[in-house]
A and B are shown apart, each in its own frame.
Chain A
Amino acid sequence: DAKTTQPPSMDCAEGRAANLPCNHSTISGNEYVYWYRQIHSQGPQYIIHGLKNNETNEMASLIITEDRKSSTLILPHATLRDTAVYYCIVRASQEYGNKLVFGAGTILRVKS
């Protein structure tokens, strides 16, 4: 699976959009981009995933560049409860259920 690069930490004001970047320049055609987050003392939680089109669900939006070498997770109105570590993961072939390989992630601190 391709490696990802994320900033180690970011701050965001409560109520503002949080934009979390991820670089995955070696991504290949069959690899999906997944985002998970981990709130302190809890297990990771799935947020969203995509292949090449932008995706949106009730939690977040995922913007993938046309060349697929980077993506951005957007939390449109961050709250204090969104403070967590956010992991960007590239994973091949969703049909086969390959394991997730986590990096260090980005610590997002939402401040009032």
Chain B
Amino acid sequence: DTGVSQDPRHKITKRGQNVTFRCDPISEHNRLYWYRQTLGQGPEFLTYFQNEAQLEKSRLLSDRFSAERPKGSFSTLEIQRTEQGDSAMYLCASSLVGARYTGELFFGEGSRLTVL
């Protein structure tokens, strides 16, 4: 395992459809983050998990968005009834919180969503 992997890398969908993104963090990492990034902007925090517990959600995470990390390993981010404004890069990051914590987040390559 060499890093955080995200799937799919690209998704094109029609408005109103549901989409799901998957993130596989670095295997020993207990914390997992989701961010969203639109063109020309820095990443915006959406939510994060400590193991399977979702500890914080941004106001950006409307009720159409849901994230899970059922077994404290991989995570999914689902967007229901997509809108054109959901078009963005969705980034996942992981870190190890604990005795060996360095403060570093490891990011995946992102999943780019285009809503037509």
Contact = CB atoms under 8 A, between A and B. Distances in A.
B42 A43 contact: no
Contact of B104 (A43, A46, A87, A99): A46
Interface in B34-78: 35, 40-45, 48, 50, 56
Interface string B75-104: 000000000000000010101010001111
Q: Which of A42, A44, A91, A97 has the most CB of B within 10 A?
A: A97
B107 interface: yes
Interface string A23-51: 00000000010100000011111100100
Interface stretch (A10-18, A59-67, A72-80, A101-109): A101-109
B101 A94 contact: yes
B83 to A, nearest CB: 23
Nearest to B48: A99
A43 B110 contact: yes
B103 A43 contact: no
Contact of A43 (B40, B48, B91, B101): B91
Contacts of A32: 103
Size category of the binding interface on chain A:
20 to 34
A43 B107 contact: yes
Contacts of A46: 104-106
A49 B101 CA distance: 13
B51 to A, nearest CB: 12
A34 B102 CA distance: 11
B93 A43 contact: yes
Q: Which of B48, B104, B108, B109 has the most CB of A within 10 A?
A: B104
Interface of A: 32, 34, 41-46, 49, 85, 87, 91, 94-97, 99-105
9 contacts: A44-B91, A44-B93, A46-B105, A46-B106, A85-B42, A91-B103, A94-B102, A99-B56, A104-B42
Given A43-B4, A44-B107, A102-B42, 17 more contacts: A41-B109, A43-B91, A43-B108, A43-B109, A44-B43, A44-B93, A45-B107, A49-B103, A85-B42, A94-B101, A94-B102, A96-B97, A97-B95, A100-B105, A102-B44, A104-B40, A104-B41
